[in-house]
């Protein structure tokens, strides 16, 4: 994996480039991005070796990383399936919808190209190359969802990301999508709805609301996430997410009913369970 | 305000005692608590001068601070209305349900005693005297909801809390309860339901879920709050909270509908609005 092509130098693409360069300083990193600022930034930073177009970069690479929004990843997989690529090339991605991406990778794999899905479970409300960091993904999960990559290729890719201090876990696409839907997409949907519910209430009161409480800020922090990215995720991950939203609404309805009925025993049981659940959620595994 | 009586040395009561002692080292702090450990801790720390019973403490105090759960605050206000207190005494509290507390303070005020409601907007999932800190409430809002305290008394109370670096705001009980319902009670209800929805989903998958993402942990952090306290709050603050939950569910339904319909324009508009709302929520005012 001496030549790496990264399509997309947003927050994650730029971070991946930094990790790869730190792991292997002699690697050649080719990259493209629709945003010239990102390209300039990463070349100036000495991380990206050469700016190319998609076809040139893909055809010269031993490793192709698709780091665009999910819909563009699917299109790129379609395009790659018809292109002449280097023998033994590994194609991978960093998108959040693994079933749809693995499905889109079928023609590529049918053409004999190796594909390994990837998904780093960290991010930021900040976007763009300038916010990429070598340690952005450190001590976070990096899910691997294999298509048809060989164990040797998977090992080589993990080694190339060694400087990122990632926590790799292998899952099936279905397992990944259910897990991420519950632990990431649902909390985002809830945070968006919460921010949209609360601000108008405060504004309507026309008072000094004081300094926002830490709980309010924490609970809604991820509502600052990128609207383009989350529109793409919510559109491509509908089935799992709708199920998760329904499950959450059932829980909230149950709590609402207990409150409406002044059922103190039920409220206490539910809050106690939530307390315990939250402590289990934060346990390192 | 040379003699202060604090009823309840939990997290907030102990923090108030520390703030008062730091503001005025010559003050005499009398206190009681159902938990002997809290009393021993605060006496050993040199903050509480003397442990008393409720009647003795209340009758000797220039300032009475009720720092128990809301239901106990209401009972104490009833009790105080029938007791012989010092002339000019100020009674205050730190409870979160201002309309119900102000209502419970009516007999006391009718007896000619001055009452000022208070509510510090910070806390912790940690409880008890040992977790009280001089800076726990620093740079957070401390809402004042006046019953019949004089401007001089309010000023004296604020001065006595000077070492806490509090951000005081005066509101009516109704304004306070609506605001706190939207900015604190609703996020707690949502966090409880979210923790209760997500953990069973993860467990049912029987896989290594990896390291929990920061967004998941932030969104559910306040689910670690104390079940006793939140059962009391949810029971005493039903009407406003039910309205807030309904408003939130409307927002989540709207987002769910857009997702179900693959309505990308509507999803984007809602996520963009949430993004903007969250940025406004964190603005210092």
Q: Which residues of B touch A236 (CB under 8 A)?
A: none
Domains identified in chain A and CATH numbers: 3-171 (3.40.50.720), 176-281 (1.10.3660.10)
Asked if the Cβ–Cβ distance from B284 to A139 is below 8 Å, we say no
A219 with B223: Cβ contact below 8 A? no
Q: CA of B262 to nearest chain A CA: how many angstroms apart?
A: 6
- B133 touching A (Cβ < 8 Å): no
Taking an 8 Å cut-off on Cβ atoms, the answer to whether A221 and B218 are in contact is yes
Counted across chains A and B, CB pairs separated by less than 8 A come out at 317
Segment A262-272 mean pLDDT: 97
Rounded mean pLDDT, A1-20: 97
Q: Across chain A, what does the average pLDDT equal?
A: 95
What part of A 4-63 touches B (C-beta under 8 Å)? none
Task: Encode pLDDT of A207-234 as tens digits.
Answer: 888 888 889 999 999 999 999 989 988 9
The residue-averaged pLDDT of A118-125 equals: 84
Q: Which residue of chain B has the CA closest to A247?
A: B197
Query: How far is it, in rounded angstroms, from Cα A216 to Cα A220?
Result: 6
Does the CB of B190 have a partner CB in chain A at under 8 Å? Answer: yes
The minimal CB distance from B183 to the residues A122, A212, A238 is found for A212
Q: Please name the residue of chain B whose CA is at the shortest distance from the CA of residue A214.
A: B122
pLDDT of residue A282 exceeding 60 = yes
Taking only residues 218 to 257 of chain A, the set having a beta carbon closer than 8 angstroms to any beta carbon of chain B reads 218-228, 230-231, 234-235, 238, 241-242, 244-245, 247-252, 254-256
CA A26 distance to own-chain centroid: 27
Q: Do A207 and B244 touch (CB under 8 A)?
A: no
Q: Do B216 and A260 touch (CB under 8 A)?
A: no
Return the DSSP state at B213.
Answer: P
Three-state DSSP string of B18-55:
HHHHHHCCCCEEEEECCCHHHHHHHHHCCCCCEECCHH
What distance in Å separates residue A256's CA from the closest CA in chain B? 7
Handedness of CA B14, B16, B22, B28 (dihedral sign): negative
> B117 to chain A nearest CA, in Å?
16
Q: State residue A147's pLDDT score.
A: 98
Residue A28 banded pLDDT, cuts 50, 70, 90: very high
For residues B224 and A273, give the distance between their C-alpha atoms in angstroms, rounded to a whole number: 10
Which among B238, B231, B192 is positioned nearest to A276, based on CA atoms? B192
- Residue B285 is predicted with a pLDDT of 56
CB contact under 8 A, B256 and A189: yes
CB contact under 8 A, B211 and A285: yes
Averaged pLDDT for residues A76-85: 97
Q: Do A192 and B271 touch (CB under 8 A)?
A: yes
Q: Determine, for residues A187 and B215 on separate chains, whether the beta-carbon distance falls below 8 Å.
A: yes
DSSP letter, residue A91:
E
For residues B82 and B107, give the distance between their C-alpha atoms in angstroms, rounded to a whole number: 9
Among candidates A209, A245, A262 on the partner chain, residue whose Cβ is nearest the Cβ of B235: A262
Q: What is the DSSP letter of A2?
A: -
**A157 to chain B nearest CA, in Å?**
19
How high is the pLDDT of residue A142? 95
Cα separation of B98 and B101, whole Å?
5
Of B141, B151, B79, the closest CA to residue B114 belongs to: B151
Best probe of the A interface among B97, B165, B187, by most A CBs < 10 A, is B187
CB neighbour list of residue B101: distance below 8 Å, 6 or more residues apart? B70, B73, B74, B77, B93, B95, B117, B173
Q: What is the mean pLDDT of residues A144-163?
A: 98
State the Cα–Cα distance between residues A33 and B249, nearest whole angstrom: 39
Pick the residue of A71, A138, A204, A223 with the most B CBs within 10 A to test the interface with B by mutation.
Answer: A223
Per-residue pLDDT of chain B (285 residues; tens, 9 = 90+): 899 999 999 999 999 999 999 999 999 999 999 999 999 999 999 999 999 999 999 999 999 999 998 889 999 999 999 999 999 999 999 998 899 999 999 999 999 999 999 999 877 777 889 999 999 999 999 999 999 999 999 999 999 999 999 999 999 999 999 999 999 999 999 999 999 999 999 999 888 888 888 899 999 999 999 999 899 889 887 889 999 999 999 999 999 999 999 999 999 999 999 999 999 999 865
pLDDT of A284 reads: 63
pLDDT, mean of residues A85-97: 95
In sequence order, what are the residues at sequence separation of 6 or more whose Cβ sits closer than 8 angstroms to the Cβ of residue B238?
A259, A260, A262
The reply to whether A134 touches chain B by the CB within 8 Å rule is: no
Quote the percentage of chain A above a pLDDT of 70: 99
The pLDDT value recorded for residue A125 is 72
């Amino acid at each position: 994996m001496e030549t790496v092509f990264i399509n997309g130098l947003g927050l994650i693409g730029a971070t991946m480039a930094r990790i790869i360069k730190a792991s292997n300083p002699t690697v050649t990193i080719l990259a493209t991005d629709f945003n010239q600022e990102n390209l300039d930034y990463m070349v100036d930073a000495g991380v990206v070796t050469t700016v190319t177009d998609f076809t040139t970069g893909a055809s010269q690479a031993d490793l192709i990383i698709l780091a665009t929004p999910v819909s563009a990843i699917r299109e790129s997989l379609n395009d790659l399936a018809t292109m002449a690529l280097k023998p033994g090339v590994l194609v991978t991605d960093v998108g959040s919808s693994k079933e749809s991406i693995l499905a889109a990778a079928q023609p590529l794999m049918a053409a004999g190209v190796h594909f390994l899905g990837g998904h780093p479970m960290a991010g930021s409300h900040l976007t763009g190359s300038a916010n990429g960091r070598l340690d952005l993904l450190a001590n976070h999960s990096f899910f691997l969802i294999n298509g048809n990559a060989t164990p040797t290729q998977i090992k080589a890719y993990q080694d190339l990301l060694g400087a990122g201090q990632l926590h790799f876990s292998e899952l099936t696409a279905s397992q990944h999508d259910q897990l991420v839907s519950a632990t990431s997409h649902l909390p985002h949907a809830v945070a968006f709805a919460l921010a949209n519910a609360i601000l108008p209430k405060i504004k309507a009161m026309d008072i000094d609301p004081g300094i926002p409480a830490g709980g309010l800020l924490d609970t809604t922090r991820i509502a600052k996430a990128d609207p383009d990215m989350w529109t793409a995720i919510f559109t491509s991950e509908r089935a799992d997410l709708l199920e998760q939203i329904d499950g959450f609404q059932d829980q909230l309805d149950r709590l609402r009913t207990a409150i409406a009925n002044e059922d103190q025993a039920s409220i206490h049981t539910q809050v106690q369970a939530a307390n315990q659940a939250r402590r289990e959620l934060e346990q390192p595994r």
